[in-house]
Amino acid sequence: MNWTWFHKLGSPKWFYELTSKWLPWLIGAMVIFLAVGVVWALLYIPPDYQQSYTTRILVIHVAVAGTSLAFFPLMAVAGTITLVWRMKLADMVAKNAAPLGAWFSFITLATGSLWGSVMWGTWWEWSDARLVSMLFQFFLLVGVVALRSALEDNDTAARACALLSIVGCINVVIIKYSVEWWNVLHQPSSPLSMSGESANGPEFWVPTVVMIVAVYLFFAVSLILATRNEILQRERKAAWVQELVSKA
């Protein structure tokens, strides 16, 4: 098997050039999906017979919450690559994913609270495992960011964060199945149906899927932008960066 692609992938320069080509398309698609998702959700979703117009909150909540679960697996994969192959690029991605993941977790909690406060009659419930495990994910991600800044040596910080990211994946499994293992307030995910016979008809889930795609694109764009900054800083002595800067 030819492993050239794998080593290329680890090269910051290669990543930088590749994302220079991808970014305009990713940003364009992100803008379109965000606009369609938000307008569709706000204007066209019919009011639910029990939840009225608050289902508009769920479109955002579900998209952000679902994407927030991708952070620990991503950081764990990147961390493993860092630990095994010492690939610089993997650590740059992991480093910048952590604070973004904390944002995602926080927005998940805040939008969930804003829905729960009117539909459950409470902003928070400590006995609900879904809520508490998501709060734990937020603290874990803040912890990864703090650990990174506390350790001065880059290699030590990278290895410590990689280990914490791998352990953090256990919590993702708990978040995912919490609604099935313990049934307190948070409902399990609802099945989709084209006919509208189940809880979610297409008038609700299609804009939700559009928003999920939009949020994933936003996640990719934001992480790529941050990683490119990291590359410019860490590779500032490289000839290609100096050339790029002189032209900018």
Partner 1 sequence: MIEAIQFASFSEFLDMGGYGFNVWSVYGLFTVFVAANLISPVMKRKRIVRDLKRRAVVNEQQSN
Contacts to partner 1 by CB under 8 A? 34, 38, 40, 42-47, 52-54, 56-57, 60-61, 64, 100, 103, 107, 110-111, 114-115, 117-118, 202-203, 206, 218, 221-222, 225-226, 228-229, 232-233, 236, 241-242, 245-246, 248
Specify the residue, 110 or 173, whose C-beta has the smaller distance to partner 1.
110
Q: How far is the CB of 187 from partner 1 (least distance, A)?
A: 18
Specify the residue, 183 or 242, whose C-beta has the smaller distance to partner 1.
242
Contact 26, 221 (CB under 8 A): yes
Q: How far is the CB of 158 from partner 1 (least distance, A)?
A: 20
Specify the residue, 86 or 236, whose C-beta has the smaller distance to partner 1.
236
Specify the residue, 1 or 248, whose C-beta has the smaller distance to partner 1.
248
Q: How far is the CB of 236 from partner 1 (least distance, A)?
A: 6
